[in-house]
Amino acid sequence: MRWHRLKAIVRKEVIQIRRDLRSLLLIVAMPLLLMLAFGYGVSFDIKHIPVFVYDREGSQQSQDLLKHFQASEYFNVVESVASYSALVQALDAGWCRVAIVIPSDFSEQLKTGGPVGVQALLDATDNNTANVSIGYSEAVIQTYNRKVQLEWLQRHGQSTRQPAVSVDARTWFNENLESTANIVPGVIAIVMAVIGSFLTSLTIAREWERGTMEQLMSTPVTPLEVMVGKLVPYFVIGLFDTALCAGIGIWWFHVPFRGQWSVFVFSSILFLMVVLSLGYFISVVTKSQLAASQTALIATFLPAFLLSGFIYPIDQMPAVIQLITRFIPARYFMTISRDVFLKGTPIALLRDELLALGLFAAVLTLLATRAFHKKLS
Amino acid sequence: MSNEVPSISVRDLVKRFGDFVAVDRISFEARPGEVIGFLGPNGAGKSTAIRMLCGLLRPTEGQALVAGIDVAREPEQVRQRIGYMSQKFSLYNDLRVIENIQFFAALYRIPASQLRERVSWVLEMAGLTGRESALTGTLPTGWKQRLALGCAVLHRPSILFLDEPTSGVDPVSRRQFWELIHQMAAEGVTVLVSTHYMDEAEYCHRLILMFHGRIVASGSPLELKQREMSGDVVLVECDDLGLALDLLQKNPSVKDAAVFGNALHLMVSEVAADLAPLRTYLSTGGVLVTKIEPISPTLEDVFVSLTANQGQSGKE
């Protein structure tokens, strides 16, 4: 590897990136867009679920129960209707997710101490929201039950006593249970995967398409010089975008950063090497910009999105899919990024992930250097 | 001259792509300062041969020595000594003129002491002095090609490979381009240039005619015209070219007939014996002949004649 040739390639590549509006837009706009879209748009927090009620009794007790629903931040009692069919209509039309029916003998039953059934109808098209709604409903009812029991005991002169067992839940790492805290460190991995492999996949393919590669190959430049020279600018861009995303996450979305910067930077460098080599390898093999960019997206963006644990937790996946995720480099970086941001995990506990990333980086870099021979075929 | 080391020495060079034989056992040599023209239709194997000589393609069989170095073994050694211009324009359109020159200068490591002089030489040669900061993509084709040539010879290579450098270039620019080639040849550079323009072939010191991957003839333009024609060429001008062509192709004394512009070129075994009977033959067929006379063959005649022979032998 000769320094003067390497420098020439880097310089040329930087000029070309600077003059290419599409690349510049992608470099600056894409991280911003993804951060904002995921930071604001994608929220897995389920709150203010719209509720319709059909209170068949209309007693003080039934209203008291409904107040419990209204008081909870998870529910928003939109309307009280006067018939069962109106309730069905509201569910059909999507005006509410949950419909609650209070029986006409609600207070009567309560007095006799028998169990009272309150019906909840749920729109389960979104099964996740429905599931969560059931849980929240049960919690609301539970609180109400306790209150009723307490009152009953007091009325009968019994000493009041707290329930035997209660859960004292402390949420660690993401104290307020905000999904942005979980998402933002993940978006960094997505941005790196796209910028790193998409942009680089175009660079070699473009030279093949425009015929400049043939000219380049007729000069004394070596394949390694071409590769390193072309990747250095994108490496710097990748680091810039990583910093940009981390900055937005920390200062705009107030995601805590509890770990060590050195661990984060080191793992970012490894992950960048992985995606850059992958993009380079793809572009050497496909030799066309269109095929290269599409392959790069499918090979990096999709797995980083679906199989890295970004949205779907890996330990909830079927065993076969879990096995597949082991071959997705983004999975390891996703774990590291989240752990370093939220948990402040020390480097020793991330050893396996870092080793996996290092292995991927080594194999893919080797693959990329091997793929590009200075021969036409 | 005989004890000079040849710039290019090719021995039984073969390139196969699967079952397809692109270059079929070609051999030739080139001396320093020689301008060699590779002639042949598209697909004759010219580009493939040139790419092997530049070390861009690995030969299937045979040997190619460029500047005395085996290209297949030490392509990197060869590359510092050669200049190459591919068929497709291959400088960076999104780089300025000066940036393209500086890029290739850096790749070839032109010493700083010579850099200024070489850069202004290329600019002057390409007629681009004062337009250094123009984006290369905005230049007319002829200027682009001269700039490409400039970048290919920045490092003063002793051997230059040009693969159809003038395709799509206007006649005036083509002329200027060839003047440059001859200037360099005069300085001792060996130039191997492929073309399918017959008028350009006349500018070459020596021609190598390729057809279906094989060398079918080689020699100076004059030698080829004298040696390779198996008869004499007759020019016919008449009122109805189509009818005349039909008639002549049926006449046994005419070996070959083809349209050349607004006239016909015939190949006959002997002008003296055939001219008068032919005129009568055409007249009785209903063609008004305005001119019939022997002419010296053009390279195109030679080429048509040679490829026609090859086509027939290929069928056998």
Query: Which candidate in B53, B57, B88, B92 is best for mutational testing of the A interface (most A CBs within 10 A)?
Result: B92
Looking at the fold, whether B244 and B189 belong to one and the same domain comes out as no
Q: Containing domain of residue B105, as a range?
A: 8-225
pLDDT at B316: 32
Task: Evaluate whether residue B314 is within a structural domain.
Answer: no
The rounded percent of chain B whose pLDDT value lies above 70 is 95
pLDDT tens column, A313-337: 888 888 999 999 999 999 999 999 9
pLDDT at A162: 65
For residue A344, list its beta bridge partners.
none
pLDDT at B177 over 70: yes
Categorize the per-residue pLDDT at B310 as very low, low, confident or very high, splitting at 50, 70 and 90: low
pLDDT at B14 over 50: yes
pLDDT at B313: 47
pLDDT below 70 — which residues of chain A? Answer: 42-45, 159-163, 177, 374-377
Average pLDDT over residues B194-212: 89
* Gap between the Cα atoms of B312 and B255, Å rounded: 13
Structural contact between residues A278 and A300, judged by C-beta atoms closer than 8 angstroms: yes
CATH class of A49-155: alpha beta
* Gap between the Cα atoms of A167 and A92, Å rounded: 37
pLDDT at B81 over 90: yes
Task: Evaluate whether residue B312 is within a structural domain.
Answer: no
What value of ipTM does the predicted structure carry? Answer: 0.79
From-to residues of CATH 3.40.1710.10 in chain A:
49-155
Residue in B closest to A20 by C-alpha: B94
H or E element that contains A235: helix A223-247
Chain B CB contacts of A8 under 8 Å are 102-103, 106-107
Looking at the fold, whether B210 and B235 belong to one and the same domain comes out as no
* Gap between the Cα atoms of B284 and B275, Å rounded: 15
Chain A CB contacts of B103 under 8 Å are 8, 11-12
pLDDT at B229: 73
Chain A CB contacts of B69 under 8 Å are none
Chain B CB contacts of A219 under 8 Å are 79, 104, 107-108
| Arithmetic mean of pLDDT over chain B | 88
* Gap between the Cα atoms of B297 and B294, Å rounded: 9
> In one letter, which amino acid is B256?
D
Instruction: Read off the tokens for B104.
Output: 């290739």
Instruction: Read off the tokens for B148.
Output: 């490409």
Looking at the fold, whether B173 and B245 belong to one and the same domain comes out as no
Task: Evaluate whether residue B148 is within a structural domain.
Answer: yes
pLDDT at A130: 87
pLDDT at A143: 87
Query: Which candidate in A9, A212, A221, A377 is best for mutational testing of the B interface (most B CBs within 10 A)?
Result: A212
* Number of independent structural domains in chain B: 2
Could you say which of B204, B225, B246 is where a domain stops? B225
Structural contact between residues B149 and A215, judged by C-beta atoms closer than 8 angstroms: no
Give the burial class of A221: count Cβ atoms within 10 A of its Cβ; 0-12 exposed, 13-18 middle, 19 or more buried. buried
| Arithmetic mean of pLDDT over chain A | 88
Looking at the fold, whether B94 and B133 belong to one and the same domain comes out as yes
| Alpha carbon B88 to chain centroid, angstroms | 15
> CA dihedral in degrees (A323, A327, A330, A332; nearest 10)?
70
Residue in B closest to A17 by C-alpha: B94
pLDDT at B1: 46
* Gap between the Cα atoms of B236 and B267, Å rounded: 11
Looking at the fold, whether B234 and B272 belong to one and the same domain comes out as yes
Residue in B closest to A5 by C-alpha: B107
**Interchain pair B91, A19: CB under 8 A:** no
Q: Is B290 left (phi over 0), alpha (psi -120 to 50) or beta?
A: alpha
Categorize the per-residue pLDDT at B123 as very low, low, confident or very high, splitting at 50, 70 and 90: very high
Looking at the fold, whether B204 and B260 belong to one and the same domain comes out as no
